[in-house]
Amino acid sequence: MLSKNEIIQTVEMIKDQNLDIRTITLSLGLFDCISENTKKCCQKVYDKITKKAEKLVAVGEQLASEYGIPIVNKRVAVTPIANIGAASGGYYELALSLDRAAKTVGIDFIGGYSALVHKAFCEKEKQFIKSIVPALADTSKVCSSVNVASSKSGINMDAVAMMGGVIKDLARATKKADSIGCAKLVVFCNAVEDNPFMAGAFTGIGESDASLNVGVSGPGVVEKAVRNKPNANFLQLAEIIKKTAFKITRAGGLIGKEAAKRLGVDFGILDLSLAPTPNMGDSVAHILEAFGLETVGTHGTTAALAMLNDAVKKGGIMASGSVGGLSGAFIPVSEDIGMINAARSGTLTIDKLEAMTSVCSVGLDMIAVPGDTPTSTICSIIADECAIGMINHKTTAVRIIPVHGKKVGEEAHFGGLLGTAPIMPVHGASSDLFIKRGGRIPAPLHSYKN
């Protein structure tokens, strides 16, 4: 039970510090929808989603009203479509069905147009990857992810090469909207099967047929707590953040369990991730600056982020036995006003962001680069990020947007939570011959644990 004091503190967090439930995500298994007939498979997928998720938006709105905690997004995540559509081969048609179902039930996004090819891929999975561009270009709510590496298997460099080409083609296909299609596509190492956040959410094969995963976010709450203790040393600061994360997690767990109960599904996991927005008072960058950095991206940023991420995870785990997903701190450039300003000034660079990803929740997220960036450069950025995840046994990812027709110094405007992205420079030296080698980068020695 929450104490009276905790309730008062939570009300203050919601009112003044932008505390919210960033997403309630209904996770659905689609294995019972498999058919060799594309039309039948699509209909089964549409019917299951619209039946299971028909009350998701209404329940979210009811809970937000009853408890006074904003629930920003209502989403659905499904079994990787590369698996569900393998029998029929109708991947594109399934994407259209996913989009139609999402619109019918009124959710914000649907994730799971995904494939897991971290060691190798079969011919069907290659066909799926080729379908990503038209699938995302012709839908508005479908999100896609591809896992190309893992600590156990290494990096599938052939898949990395394919995904670099997909990203470039998708940028071109959605050029009228600042290549926004790439914002719905993420390339993973060590993808998490119960992650409720887009664009990387999908339902892993170890998950139940239907469960409710919750993503809680409160950068403004943590920033306020840090700024209230300007003389605290780092040990004291870590304790402050842990206690703050504990309170945030308790509130999220209450909402998640009640949402699952009303939907008649299992309660899955609670993902405590400091996911920023472009709004003032809702920035992970500003938390790091509250530690004493003049601006995010300067020396000391990686150390500050490491402490923040660790303290958030520890506080969340103390509060709930259901903490999962990614949990920690996200650093999407376009979605964080502090990151945006640091990128504009040149203090925050892709190289610094890469270092930061070794200690954050995910990786290089919502980064805009020049539209004429070579495909091999994009592939190499993906490979670098996968290497960090593989060696460190952590999830890393790349959501990069080569904005068609734009150059360094310009900006891409996506709107809403996706925000604004300054076009960031990349290195000009070629990586072409490196990518052309293909094959697989082996897993590190320390991965052989059994």
Residue 48 token pair: 């299951």
Instruction: Decide if pLDDT at 3 tops 60.
Output: no
What local confidence, expressed as pLDDT, does residue 72 receive? 85
What local confidence, expressed as pLDDT, does residue 23 receive? 87
Contact between 184 and 201 under an 8 Å Cβ cutoff? The reply is no
Residue 235 token pair: 């040990």
Q: Which distant-in-sequence residues (6+ apart) come within 8 Å of 1 by Cβ? A: none
Output the CA torsion 302→307→312→315 (10° steps).
170
Please give the CATH number for the structural domain made up of 20-189. Answer: 3.20.70.20
- The average pLDDT across 225-241 equals 92
What local confidence, expressed as pLDDT, does residue 106 receive? 96
Q: Which distant-in-sequence residues (6+ apart) come within 8 Å of 196 by Cβ? A: 23, 24, 25, 27, 75, 77, 213, 214, 215, 269, 271, 325
Give the chain's radius of gyration (CA, Å).
21
What local confidence, expressed as pLDDT, does residue 5 receive? 56
Nearest alpha-carbon partner for 187 in 206, 168, 205 = 168
Which segments of 257-332 are extended strands (E)?
A: 266-274, 328-329
What local confidence, expressed as pLDDT, does residue 113 receive? 97
**What pLDDT, in 10s, does the model give residues 161-176?**
999 999 999 999 999 9
- The average pLDDT across 146-174 equals 97
- Strand, helix or coil at 437? coil
Q: Quick one: CATH architecture of 215-437?
A: Alpha-Beta Barrel (3.20)
**Strand pairing class (185-189; 396-403):** antiparallel
Instruction: Decide if pLDDT at 244 tops 70.
Output: yes
Nearest alpha-carbon partner for 42 in 145, 50, 144, 137 = 50
Instruction: Decide if pLDDT at 22 tops 90.
Output: no
- 215-437 shares the fold of 20-189: yes
Instruction: Decide if pLDDT at 11 tops 60.
Output: no
**What pLDDT, in 10s, does the model give residues 178-221?**
999 999 999 999 999 999 888 999 999 889 999 999 988 878 88
Which segments of 309-362 are extended strands (E)?
A: 328-329
For the chain, domain boundaries: 20-189, 215-437
pLDDT tier at 379, thresholds 50, 70, 90: very high
> Which phi and psi angles does 87 have, rounded to 5°?
-65, -35
**What pLDDT, in 10s, does the model give residues 319-369?**
777 887 888 888 999 999 999 999 999 999 999 999 999 999 889 999 999
Which segments of 275-359 are extended strands (E)?
A: 328-329
Cα separation of 241 and 171, whole Å? 39
- The average pLDDT across 426-443 equals 95
Which residues lie across from 113 on neighbouring strands? 144
Note the pTM of the prediction, 2 decimals.
0.92
